[in-house]
Amino acid sequence: MARVKTVFRCGECGGESPRWLGRCPSCEAWNTLVEELAETAAVPTVAARRTGAGPMPIDRVPADEWVATPTGIEELDRVLGGGLVPGSVTLVGGEPGIGKSTLLLQAAAARATAGDRVLYVSAEESRQQVRLRAGRLDTLDPNLWLVAETSLPRVLADLEATDPALVVIDSVQALADPQLSSAPGSVAQVRHVAAQLVTEAKQRGVAIVLVGHVTKDGSLAGPRVLEHVVDTVCTFEGERHHALRMLRAVKHRFGPTHELGLFQMTDRGLLGVPDPSGLFLSDRRRGVPGSVVVPTLDGNRPLLVEIQALVTGSDLGNPRRSAHGVDGGRLNMVLAVLEERAGISVAKSDVYALAAGGLRVTEPGADLALALAVVTAASDTPLPDGVVVCAELGLGGELRQGARLDRRLAEAARLGFVTALVAPDTPETPPGIQVVPAATLAEAVRLCHGGGLGRPLAAVV
Ligand code: TYD
Ligand code: MG
């Protein structure tokens, strides 16, 4: 009797190994190899079916063939560069429970309301569950068709029968082709399902959105194995304990990848956040030491974020360094530069730093704000009101310009900030905001303490 042949496959990248290893030999991810049956059944090749017209001179190819259709969800359309392109496949990845099904149900319903037929394939939840959610979100539209199905051939038949303009597959990992011996969610299945759907999308000119779960334990094939198959990859992320959700395109064949979409999870589903800076700053207490506002740039989108620090005496031999929403490594670097280049030591204190509002600020443009949050916390002197701070910090204590400063400052001015502490050689500044340059961290600290930024407010207690 022939032995059943198995291979060990990486759930992250799809890499293969004949034996189990702790670390994937291809992508070096830890603990991602899972045993699965070696595929013996002939997988129908995608290449055998033509997905478009034959060869032709490039200037005869119609240029307007691929025009995005808005989904009607503004923040989603912003990320997609206008909407979903007919014939394209978009993968929306995110951790379970982050709100992928909610987002796509809302998008599907918005398209349906606009008059297009949409097919929502629920491979994880029952029809009743999806209907209940749709009822709660007030998105019941007769153009929105629903099927609970986990078999790929039947989904393809449903597609044929309903002829929709948009299909949502929730999720790609729960869909499987019974012809393949591997389990649903295995790399072989997920790849096959996605490849078939890509062919289908191109042939029918239907936009398909795939939901993909990202799991860290590697038990499900991660969306990374699909990244090269699909046209667009979006990630949906956020802190579990905050309502804020961020949507980003990490790969996009039809437009830019640097747009950020922001949502808030409410009891009526996901709501777009058109003015995030206002939201992040809305519950800020002014005149508090250890609070500095930085105009960050996420993709193309300027966001004003409050960086907070707290410095307290420590009786630990190795004082605590705690960072939430800011990078721990950057915090350590900033503290080292403060000590060596500006003579401010917090070596005997615990330091806590965070970005308020559940946002993650990792860009170097926030270095100076982080440093000054620590300085003002340690000296118990708040910055004057109406000040924003933006510069990168070098290891020599020198300050460098954050990218696209003009956009950042324009946003700060829009929200009523009047002074910006930045690196020298600022490009032209938007009206309404006065620029105070500092060449080094030490100079920036002197400006804060010496009244160079205006008179400090008394701490509000
Ligand atoms: P869901 O879209 O099911 O997440 P995913 O598909 O990414 O796994 O949403 C999960 C969470 O969102 C769930 O914990 C409940 C919450 N939620 C709301 O807060 N409000 C709502 O209107 C809906 C539909 C969900
Ligand atoms: Mg879901």
Q: 127-148 pLDDT, tens per residue?
A: 999 999 999 998 899 999 999 9
pLDDT in tens, 41-85: 445 555 555 656 788 888 887 776 678 999 999 999 999 989 999
* CB of 388 closer than 8 Å to CB of 417: yes
pLDDT in tens, 370-426: 999 999 999 999 999 899 999 999 999 999 998 889 989 999 998 889 999 999 987
Band of the pLDDT at 218, cuts 50, 70, 90? very low
Per DSSP bridges, beta strands 392-393 and 33-37 are unpaired
**How many Å lie between the centroid of ligand 1 and the Cα of residue 149?**
20
Cα gap 105→138, rounded to integer Å: 11
Ligand 1: which residues within 6 Å by Cβ?
Answer: 94, 96-102, 133, 136-137, 265, 267-269
CA torsion through residues 207, 213, 219, 223, sign: positive
Closest atom of ligand 1 relative to the 124 alpha carbon: 6
316-334: average pLDDT: 93
- From the CA of 103, the nearest ligand is 1
Closest atom of ligand 1 relative to the 170 alpha carbon: 6
- So what's the pLDDT on residue 461? 30
- So what's the pLDDT on residue 320? 94
User: Cα separations (Å) of 326 from 289, 320, 341, 363?
Assistant: 18, 15, 22, 9
Cα gap 204→208, rounded to integer Å: 10
Q: Look at residue 367 and give its three-state secondary structure.
A: helix
- From the CA of 125, the nearest ligand is 2
- So what's the pLDDT on residue 402? 84
Peptide bond into 171 cis (omega under 30): yes
Closest atom of ligand 1 relative to the 137 alpha carbon: 22
* CB of 170 closer than 8 Å to CB of 121: yes
Q: Which helix (H) or strand (E) holds 301?
A: strand 301-313
- From the CA of 98, the nearest ligand is 1
Per the prediction, the chain carries an average pLDDT of 87
**How many Å lie between the centroid of ligand 2 and the Cα of residue 4?**
34
Testing ligand 1's pocket by substitution, the residue of 171, 265, 268 carrying the most ligand atoms inside 8 A of its CB is 265
Cα gap 226→144, rounded to integer Å: 27
